[in-house]
Amino acid sequence: MTEFTIGNICKEVQRIRFDLENEEIASAMKRCDDLDQLLYDIEEGKYSLVVE
């Protein structure tokens, strides 16, 4: 099973912020959608979240 950490999620939030600061709205929206899907998949048990 693929594992993700809080750090992985934080890095993606930073990428979204960077896109927004650079007015890359389409990229930020895509990243938000992907992050939302990832969190849903973690909740559904498709991936696991490791808290270190």
Going from the first residue of the chain to its last (52 residues), give the mean pLDDT of each consecutive group of 10, the final group possibly shorter: 92 98 98 97 95 80
What are the residue boundaries of the structural domains of the chain, listed by start? 3-50
Are the C-beta atoms of residues 41 and 47 closer than 8 Å to each other?
Answer: yes
pLDDT at 46: 96
pLDDT at 25: 98
Compute how many other C-beta atoms are within 10 angstroms of the C-beta atom of residue 35. 15
Residue 8: per-residue pLDDT: 93
Report pLDDT for 10.
95
Would you say 47 and 38 are in contact if contact means Cβ atoms under 8 Å apart? Answer: yes
| pLDDT at residue 36, as a whole number | 97
Burial (CB < 10 A; 0-12, 13-18, 19+), residue 23, is exposed
- Cβ distance 42 to 4 under 8 Å? yes
